[in-house]
Chains A and B, each alone.
Chain A
C-alpha cells in the first residue's frame, strides 16, 4: 500500500538550533503510528511539518502525495489536528465550536448541524452543548478538541500529546475514544512521552531523541530487542544506589543506575531479586515488573523519559 505520509531526511532548524535532524519514516493507511520521546526531542516540530504549518528546512515530505510547503490548505482538507495546547474558541459555545470549525472546511450548515450532534455524543458532551468552553474541565476540553478535529471526517488524525496533563480516568476515556477511531480505519499519528499511551494506541512507533530516530518497531518488538523480559527495581536510598551497584555484579543481564533507583534487567526477575537478597543486601523497597518502553528509552538514550 502506498504510504499516506512519507518522510526522507526530514530536517528543521530554527537559527542555529536543529530541532529535527534528518528523520525517515513511512505511515501506512489505517496505521496507528507514534513518535515517542522526551520533551524537546522534535516530535511537535515534526507534527507541525506534517500538518503543513511549518516549513521543513530540508529533506522530503509528502502527505497523500502532496507537498505541505506548497499545498497546505489542500492537505489540511484531509487532516484532523489535535494540537498540544487546546485552542478552542472561547467566544463560542461548545456546539458552535464544532459548527464553526466545520465551516472553516467549507462544510454546509445542514450537514454540520447533524454532525455536531453525533460528535457531541461521541465526546460525551451532549449536556454541555450550550456551555462556554471556559466552563469545561480539562478532560472535557480535550474531548471537544478531538471531536472538533473529526468534523471533516479526516483520513489522518494528528494528535500531539493527546492526554498530557489529564487525570488517569480522563486519559482512559480518551484512549477508548481514540481506539474506536482506529477501529474505523482512521490513520492516527500521535506524539507522546507516556509509555502506557504508546503501548495502548500505537501499532508501530519510532523513538525520537535530540531530533533523530533511535529505534523503530512495534511496542513489543522494541521491548524485546532493546530491554529484555523483566526488570527488578531496587531502592537503597539516593546516596547508596550508585555505591551498591558494583556489589551486584553478576546478578541479572544488565544494571542501570538511576539517581533514585537501580534497575536490574533479567529474564527471571524473581530469581534475580532472590540473588540480591542472598548477597545480604537489603533494599528499602523492591519491585519486579515486566520491561516496558520506558526501559527501551533508558537503554537507548541513557535517560528516562519523564523527568
Chain B
C-alpha cells in the first residue's frame, strides 16, 4: 500500500485526453482500439493455429491439383476455355481459404467473446460502440485472410500456376471476399445461442466448398442447381479469382466484386445492429 492515489502530479487528467466519441449510440469512431486488441491477442498467443490455417489449402492444392491433376490433365471451364487442372482449382482453393479464415474468426472467435469470455461486454462499458466492435473484429479477420492469401498466391507463383499480371489483384480481391464472409458470419453468429448450433455453419460451408465450381465446372449440373449455386457467395469468389488469375477480366468480374461489396455492407450493418440489440437492451 504505497501510493494513496491513482492521480499523479506528472500525469494529466485522463478525462482531458479521452477521444471524444461521435454523438451516436452505434458508432464512436474508435474501431482501431478493437482491432489493436484483436491483433495483440491473436498474433501473440496461438501462432501455430495461425500457421495451420495457411497449410491446409496448400495441402489441398498439392494433393488435388498436382496429384489428381496429373491424371486429369486439362479441363474445359464454364467459359469454354481449356485449362490445366491445377490452374483451374488453385483460385477456387484460394477463395475457399479466404472464406474459411474469415468465417472462423467471425463465428467461433466472436461467439466465444460474446457468450463465454464476455469481452464485448467489457468493451461496451467504455466509449466503444457496437459498430466499432464489428469493424474492429472484421479488420482482424482481414489481416489473417490477407496473410494467408499472400502466402497462397506465392505458392501458386512458385508452382507456375499464374499466367497474368491481373493475378496481383487476387490478394485485395481475397480481402474483399473475406470482408463479405466475416461480416455475414458475425451477423449470423449473433443469432446463435449454443455451441451446438455452431455446427450448422459447417453444414453450410462444406457443401458450398465442394459444389461451387471448385473442382469441376457448373455445366455438369442441371440448370436449376446452376442458378442456385450462382446465387451463393463462394461461387462469386471463385469466379472472381479465377478471372484475375487467368487475366480474363470483364464486366462479370466487376459484378462478382460488387456482390461482395454489397455482402460486406449489409453484413457490417446487420452485425452492428445485432450487437446493439444484444448489449444495449
Contacts and interface: CB of A to CB of B under 8 A. Distances in A.
Interface of A: 51-55, 69-74, 76-79, 81, 83, 85, 87-92, 96, 100-108, 111, 114-115, 118-119, 121-122, 124, 147, 150-155, 176, 180-181, 184
13 contacts: A55-B280, A55-B281, A72-B280, A74-B20, A77-B15, A77-B18, A81-B125, A92-B37, A92-B40, A105-B127, A106-B30, A153-B7, A153-B13
B280 A106 contact: no
B281 A107 contact: no
Contacts of A74: 20-21, 23, 127
Best-surrounded residue of A85, A89, A105 (most CB of chain B within 10 A): A105
Across the A-B interface, give the 10 residue pairs with the lowest CB-CB distance, nearest first: A106-B19, A91-B41, A104-B126, A73-B21, A153-B14, A81-B125, A87-B118, A73-B28, A103-B33, A87-B122
Best-surrounded residue of A71, A73, A115 (most CB of chain B within 10 A): A73
B122 A106 contact: no
A55 B279 CA distance: 10
B280 A53 contact: yes
Contacts of B24: 73
A33 B1 CA distance: 26
Best-surrounded residue of B18, B25, B125, B129 (most CB of chain A within 10 A): B125
B25 A108 contact: no
A124 B128 CA distance: 28
B222 interface: no
Interface of B: 1-8, 10-15, 17-25, 28, 30, 33-34, 36-37, 40-41, 45, 117-119, 121-129, 279-281
B126 A76 contact: yes
A184 B5 contact: yes
Contact of B11 (A78, A111, A184): A111
Nearest to A186: B6
Nearest to A147: B6
A107 B14 contact: yes
A106 B40 contact: no
A118 B3 contact: yes
Nearest to B119: A89
Contacts of A69: 25
B127 A76 contact: yes
Contacts of B34: 104
A73 B129 contact: yes
Contact of A180 (B4, B12, B14, B45): B4
A235 B254 CA distance: 84
B125 A83 contact: yes
A53 B11 contact: no
A53 B279 contact: yes
Given A111-B11, A118-B6, A77 B20 contact: yes
Contacts of B23: 71, 74
Contact of A100 (B19, B30, B40, B118): B40
B127 A106 contact: yes
Nearest to A97: B122
Contacts of A51: 125
Given A71-B25, A76-B125, A88-B122, A100 B37 contact: yes
A89 B281 contact: no
Given A90-B117, A91-B41, A184-B7, A53 B13 contact: no
Given A73-B128, A118-B6, A153-B7, 11 more contacts: A52-B25, A73-B28, A87-B121, A92-B37, A102-B14, A105-B127, A107-B17, A122-B5, A153-B15, A184-B5, A184-B6
A187 B10 CA distance: 23
Nearest to A106: B19
B18 A122 contact: no
A72 B2 CA distance: 36
B18 A53 contact: no
B110 to A, nearest CB: 14
A54 B281 contact: yes
Contacts of B12: 111
A105 B126 contact: yes
B141 to A, nearest CB: 16
Best-surrounded residue of B6, B30, B37 (most CB of chain A within 10 A): B6
A192 B118 CA distance: 22
B132 to A, nearest CB: 9
Contact of A73 (B33, B45, B117, B127): B127
A189 B37 CA distance: 29
B22 A73 contact: yes
Contact of B25 (A73, A87, A150): A73
B40 A96 contact: yes
A89 B126 contact: no
Nearest to B126: A104
